[in-house]
Amino acid sequence: MPDGPGRSCPLSYRYGAAALDSAPAFETETLWIAGGLYGNPCALERLLELYDAEPGTKALVFNGDFHWFDADAETFSAINASVMRHRATRGNVETELALPESGAGCGCGYPAWVGDEEVARSNRILERLRRAAAHRPEALRSLAALPMHLTVTLGGERVAIVHGDADSLAGWDFSQERLATGDGCVAAAEALRRARARVIACSHTCLPVLQALDDDTAVVNNGAAGMPNFERTHFGLATRISVRPRGGAMYGARVGRLQVEARRVDYDHAAWQRRFLDWWPAGSDAHASYHARIAGGPRYSPGQALRVAPVAAAPRAA
């Protein structure tokens, strides 16, 4: 396994699935969860419109990496203020800004399938963002105070909210790649049992997946709220979990008494492209890593994201 800044997962990021088996922070009927806003103010504006239109008792949780591309102090500050009006948990970006670990780089904990050049660019993006955030010490203090995970109840069902996976803030066990394996599904089902949760909602690994598991449980990863998640699209995704289904979901599944859905965040693509290019023109690190995805989406489809049954575990050798 490669090591070094951007690869390793700092010890302070680890909590373990049993930590999610905690008293609920609050109870509600409908939960919106937006991970990976990545400093996109256009996506934030659209997300808040969608959330405002939601009827009934509700809460909005930003589960980390709401900052990333917003490397100017004014936008950083405005996004931070909006997020702090709702619930939030820390992602690796916020953690490395507010509580930096020596040698952690961007804190992404990138697995081996992500190339060294991309990891190096991520570390440099974080350094630039850190310089912008240094002008806003009050925002950094608010980030340092955020929890790494939250547990919520809806209709008597427990939903755990994390940034990475059940064990770590920057874990990759809930990536679509890992959940495409039998071992990955078995490990995820065990994590849900240890967390005593019906659903775990996460983000961090950049591609969405709604994975049904044994015991009528599920992992839902929204991919990114602030970047396209599917080929030839220009919208982000948020997760909606509710005791009530509601029209307009991109895809969804019933899990216990809960409706778990992926919701489109149709932001102003042209306006976002302009903002992004102002901050990160051709030749910059973020442009090299993300512009193609922002312009045309990743090679991934909604049919790959919705998985109504776990992958069977491979039989063990005798």
Q: How far is CA 14 from the centre of its chain?
A: 17
β 306-307/208-213 pair status: parallel
In whole angstroms, the minimum distance from the beta carbon of 108 to Fe ion comes to 6
Residues that bind Fe ion (CB under 5 A): 65, 91-92, 204
Residue nearest to Fe ion (CB): 204
What distance in Å separates the CA atoms of residue 241 and residue 126, rounded to the nearest whole number?
31
β 199-202/217-222 pair status: parallel
Question: Which residue lies nearer to Fe ion by CB, 212 or 294?
Answer: 294
Question: Which residue lies nearer to Fe ion by CB, 90 or 234?
Answer: 90
Beta strands in the chain (DSSP E): 26-28, 30-33, 58-63, 87-89, 150-154, 157-161, 199-202, 208-213, 217-222, 236-242, 251-255, 258-265, 306-307
Question: Which residue lies nearer to Fe ion by CB, 64 or 228?
Answer: 64
Question: Which residue lies nearer to Fe ion by CB, 65 or 285?
Answer: 65
Question: Which residue lies nearer to Fe ion by CB, 106 or 154?
Answer: 106
In whole angstroms, the minimum distance from the beta carbon of 169 to Fe ion comes to 8
In whole angstroms, the minimum distance from the beta carbon of 170 to Fe ion comes to 6
Q: Is 43 helix (H, G, I), strand (E, B) or coil?
A: helix
In whole angstroms, the minimum distance from the beta carbon of 77 to Fe ion comes to 21
What distance in Å separates the CA atoms of residue 254 and residue 162, rounded to the nearest whole number?
20
Containing H/E element for 130?
helix 116-133
In whole angstroms, the minimum distance from the beta carbon of 90 to Fe ion comes to 10
